[in-house]
Amino acid sequence: MGRFRFTEFYVSDMSNKEDLCVVVSAYLKSVTAQPPIESIVEFYLSARAEVESCKLADGANQKPHFSLRTLCRALSYVVDATSRYGFQRALYDGFAMSFLTQLNRPSYIAMEALIRKHLLKRYAHSHRDQVSE
């Protein structure tokens, strides 16, 4: 019976704003001429700060986990869905699916406000407008 050998590397989560901007830019450079790179990074860092300050909880009232993988999944969706739904709608949907679905109701409301504040600034006051776009 053969035995496979794997090497495991631990890489700490990225929190440097400049490095995160490079990652976001690499994902979105092909979908829009001027992606809101800094706004996305600010959202991600704000979401992580909310988790660290114990202001958010998942459906089991535990601390949710948002990592670089979560961010990249949201960005991948944006890239895939932009041609079908437009950039603004794909941006909202991608981040909602990645950052909202696991949260309990009070945390969901708080996170949705963060998404609107950072990513959908022109819709910050009206959720109904962003959905109908």
pLDDT digits (tens, 9 = 90+) for 70-116: 999 999 999 999 999 999 999 999 999 999 999 999 999 999 999 99
Cα-based distances in Å from 91 to 2, 33, 40, 59: 46, 14, 10, 24
Q: Would you tell me how many other CB atoms lie within 10 Å of the CB of residue 111?
A: 25
pLDDT digits (tens, 9 = 90+) for 4-43: 677 776 667 788 999 999 999 999 999 988 999 999 999 9
pTM for the whole structure: 0.83
Interatomic CA distance for residues 107 and 103, integer angstroms: 6
Mean pLDDT along residues 51-67: 95
Q: What angle do CA 36, 66, 120 make, to 5 degrees?
A: 30
pLDDT digits (tens, 9 = 90+) for 70-81: 999 999 999 999
With bands split at pLDDT 50, 70 and 90, how would you rate the model's confidence at 2?
A: low
The answer to whether the beta carbons of residues 23 and 14 sit under 8 Å apart is yes
133 pLDDT higher than 80: no
| Phi (first) and psi of residue 52, to 5 degrees | -65, -30
Which 3 state secondary structure label does DSSP give 58?
strand
